[in-house]
Amino acid sequence: MQRRWLKRLALPLFGLLVFAAPTLLGGSGAVYSAAVLIAIFAVMAYGLDVIVSDLGEVSLAHPVFFAVGSYTTAWLSTRAGLGSWATLAATIVVALLFAAAIGLVTLRLREFVFSLVTYAVGVVAITVASNWAFLGGSDGIRGIPLLDLSVGGLQLSARNDRELWPYAFALLAVTVYLIDRFRRSLLGAAAIMVHLNPRLATMAGTDPARVRLQVFLFSAPISAAAGWLYAYQRAYVSADVLENYFLILMLTAVVLIGRRQLLGPLIATAMVLVQEKFFSLGGNVDKIVLGAVLIVILGFFPQGLMGLLQPLRRLLQRGR
Amino acid sequence: MNLTQQLINGLVLGHAYALVAIGWTLLLGVARLVNFGHGQMYMLGAFVTWWAVVKAGVPYALALPIAMAIGALFGLLMQRVMLKATFEQNLVSIMIMTLGFGYVLQGGAALVFGSTGQILDTALSRSEIKLGELWLTQQDLAIVLVAIAVFVGLKWLLDGTRIGRLVRMVAEDPKLAQLAGVNVRRVYYGVFAFEGAAVAFAAGMVAPRTPILTSMGFEEVIMTFVVVVLGGIGSVTGSYVAGVALGLFTALFGALVSPAYTTAACFLVLIAVLVLRPGGLGAGSTAGVH
């Protein structure tokens, strides 16, 4: 009984700790901007997490969903003057359209052909974003207004990263909740079944193609919502939101701690960002570090860092 | 626009695409390995050749083998790290690891060679051949001839020699090949070393046509995808035909429509083929996995 109580309380307590973390760590401007970026990039990575960890496919198009969120927000807030709620809604709709298009085309492709095509989507997106005047071309879109989620008389706006943190945290909390619900849902169970044994899934009356498309549609708006907040945080958007960095960061976030660990992507993103923001060795060396972490984890610790803890846990249990 | 000139450009470009894709074609056909670091390995080959020629003053003919040796060594290193995943056919891990290798190469090359663009000039790329209105450089001619030679050579190696037979056995069924006494591990190392050397060689040949940047790998790889997938994954002859066809398409699209969107256009061609032949390429290509 007592343990179950502890388990139920653990997550909210951890959430409280995360929320207070920037203050506990000194509360300087740099700490708050790092915290906001960690939350944004973790949300971005959660979108990919369900595809890689649950569905067992490698989608390399998720940076595109992130960019779709950023560009939709930038375009609508600067050219059409829409508010933050409207841009969030538009972000989700546009991301769903993109996911449906990519998902339908790649529906029958599996494994590496699926990955090749999704990677190509990313490369095409970067050439289109940097050439198309409609999206600002190589200059991108500047002058994105501040985040303003005010409802009625309630003032909810953010002028800097310190004020942005509660919203970034809220987005992160909602995302973690959705991922948790997904893993407990029928769709989540179907995804695992399609991943591990597509034939069995078909015999059990599950259509693998349909499940894949549904999971794709579930995951894209999550990465796109991260892009939505990123646009407000940076105040401008250009084709560099499609850079390789975001793809590598997402993949590292998904595999570093271990697959299907609810808090894995968050902890991994935090580790990478803390290294880059506070212990940076220069941009190029940071690239080598990030790439090497990805390789070493997959090559030598395929269970992720959690795999390293397994023997320890077994030891503790034996001692009891 | 002169149509004949564009056709010549297309042929040169096509042979360049085919040459760049040859290493991956074999890698995919034999070991079912997908290498997302291919573009960055191309970049490395180009920069090593540039460094050898411009900085170290090595003659071009010697710079190519140097680049190939470094490419092959890098290929062996990659295969060493990925060997376990290769035997398990753990494609998810392999694909992500090759992306990681590409990223490390990108950072490493920027560190060593600087992040400014460079021009790789060779004696061949400076001398032009003029036929009336038409022109091409000797480097262009060399690319076409060398690509044909490499494809013919590889085809002969695969179909006509003992090594080729072993490689084909491993491609067909690695476990059975192992039972028959084939050293599968050595074949895997071999194809990855070939991939590294071949892409470095291709880079040394093709890179003089364009400015070289340490960040170019991300986009460079996409033409190789299209060639490999259109060519019928793992087929040597198919890759050659797909490469040349893609080159002609790119040259004509760039001249007639828009040079900025050629990548996007090639991608649409790929999508069209995949959708028109659903199950054909996609499902057929994964039938042997697991």
CA distance A242 to chain B (A): 11
Domains of chain B: 3-286 (1.10.3470)
Nearest to B143 by CA among B195, B58, B202, B194: B202
Distances, alpha carbon B26 to alpha carbons A221, B192, B233, in Å: 38, 9, 9
d(C-alpha B44, C-alpha A167), whole Å: 43
Query: Cβ of A291 and B264 within 8 Å?
Result: no
CATH class name, domain A2-319: mainly alpha
CA distance A37 to chain B (A): 21
A156 burial (CB, 10 Å; 0-12 / 13-18 / 19+) is: middle
- List chain A residues with CB under 8 Å of B231: none
All residues at 6 or more sequence positions from A232 whose CB lies less than 8 Å from its CB, including other chains: A73, A84, A144, A145, A146, A147, A158, A164
pTM for this model (two decimals) = 0.89
All residues at 6 or more sequence positions from A85 whose CB lies less than 8 Å from its CB, including other chains: A149, A151
Only one residue has tokens 């291709």, namely B202
B85-144 residues touching A, CB cutoff 8 A: 85, 90-93, 95-97, 99-104, 106-108, 110-111, 115
Q: Number of Cβ pairs closer than 8 Å across A and B?
A: 144
CA distance B70 to chain A (A): 18
Query: Cβ of B270 and A255 within 8 Å?
Result: no
Only one residue has tokens 């198009």, namely A61
Query: Cβ of A58 and B108 within 8 Å?
Result: no
All residues at 6 or more sequence positions from B25 whose CB lies less than 8 Å from its CB, including other chains: B227, B228, B231, B234, B235, B236, B239
**Does residue A231 have a pLDDT over 60?**
yes
pLDDT tens for B202-255 read 999 998 888 888 888 877 788 888 898 888 877 888 899 999 999 999 999 988
Mutate to test the interface with A, among B103, B215, B253, B263 (most CBs of A within 10 A): B103
CA distance A175 to chain B (A): 24
Longest dimension (CA), chain B: 61
pLDDT at B22: 92
pLDDT at B280: 39
Among the partner residues A56, A58, A120, nearest to B96 by beta-carbon distance:
A58
Q: Average the pLDDT over each of A144-158, A228-242, B24-38 and give the range with the smallest value.
A: A144-158
Query: Cβ of A112 and B91 within 8 Å?
Result: yes
Q: What is the mean pLDDT of residues A254-269?
A: 90
- List chain A residues with CB under 8 Å of B108: 284, 288
Among the partner residues B34, B229, B264, nearest to A124 by beta-carbon distance:
B264
What are the sequence ranges of the domains in chain A?
A: 2-319
Query: Cβ of B271 and A105 within 8 Å?
Result: yes
The answer, for B273 touching chain A at a CB cutoff of 8 Å, is no
pLDDT at B130: 78
Among the partner residues A110, A131, A291, nearest to B260 by beta-carbon distance:
A131
Predicted ipTM? 0.88
- List chain A residues with CB under 8 Å of B112: none
pLDDT tens for A69-99 read 999 999 999 988 888 899 999 999 999 999 9
Query: Cβ of B103 and A115 within 8 Å?
Result: no
Among the partner residues B100, B111, B229, nearest to A294 by beta-carbon distance:
B100
Residue B281's pLDDT band (cuts 50, 70, 90): very low
pLDDT tens for B161-184 read 988 888 888 888 888 888 888 888
Q: Average the pLDDT over each of A190-194, B156-160, B273-277 and give the range with the smallest value.
A: B273-277
d(C-alpha B235, C-alpha B233), whole Å: 6
Query: Cβ of B34 and A112 within 8 Å?
Result: yes
CB contact at 8 A, A226 and A171: yes
User: How many other CB atoms are there within 10 angstroms of residue B89's CB atom?
Assistant: 16
pLDDT tens for B87-133 read 888 888 999 999 999 999 999 999 998 878 888 877 777 777 777 77
pLDDT at A186: 87
Q: Could you say which DSSP state residue B229 is in?
A: H
d(C-alpha B159, C-alpha A212), whole Å: 40
Among the partner residues A121, A126, A248, nearest to B100 by beta-carbon distance:
A248
**Does residue B150 have a pLDDT over 90?**
yes
